[in-house]
Amino acid sequence: MEEIISTGNQKVSVSLSELEEPDRLILFDWINDKKLVELNSFFKPVTIEAHTNWFNSIRQNKSVRIFGIRIIENNELIGSCQLFNINELNRAAELQIRLGSFDKMGKGYGSQAVQLLLHYGFENLNLQRIYLNVFADNIRAYKSYRKNGFAEEGHLRRAAYIGDRFVDVKVMSILKEEFPK
């Protein structure tokens, strides 16, 4: 997907594109970085064989649309995002995003990628609802989702065991009519 949209007057500096074979090893490094992974999931080391199998199958899975997040200026892969659990009957999907390094966070790249992915989901897939789960203590992500139009639907107490502790999870969503054109 080379589609780029603008978000208001803000210059778009990232694009979403299909994952390619050279991206496989970069994603492998990211999925084995415990601090990065524990921002939105539990950590379990992944072997290169398991990762390669996942990488090859995820690109063929029709219930998932996964993209690389790239800086337009230099085509650098800085993260990935996806719509998964796509339910054609209910026209809904779950959103997940992961930036690959801490130095890319807090610069607006993630927010822009979310805007592009929402646009793709609502316009290309004709979804009516896109939802996500975010750890309650991941304040940066929570604020970013709110800024992008997501509303909090619920709070799941001690819903995930991350590292050595239980964390609360917030459920958020955005509806098609809430997304600005």
Catalytic positions are 145
Query: What strands lie across the sheet with 129-135, from one edge to the other?
Result: 14-17, 65-71, 77-87, 92-99, 129-135, 165-175, 151-162
Crossing angle of helices 109-119 and 139-147, in 10° steps, is 50
Asked if 77 contacts 26 with a C-beta cutoff of 8 angstroms, the reply is: yes
Residue 94 has what DSSP assignment?
E
User: 14, 15, 17, 19: which is closest to 31 by C-alpha?
Assistant: 19
Picking from 114, 130, 125, 8, the residue whose alpha carbon sits closest to that of residue 67 is 114
E strand or H helix at 109: helix 109-119
Element (H, E) at 69: strand 65-71
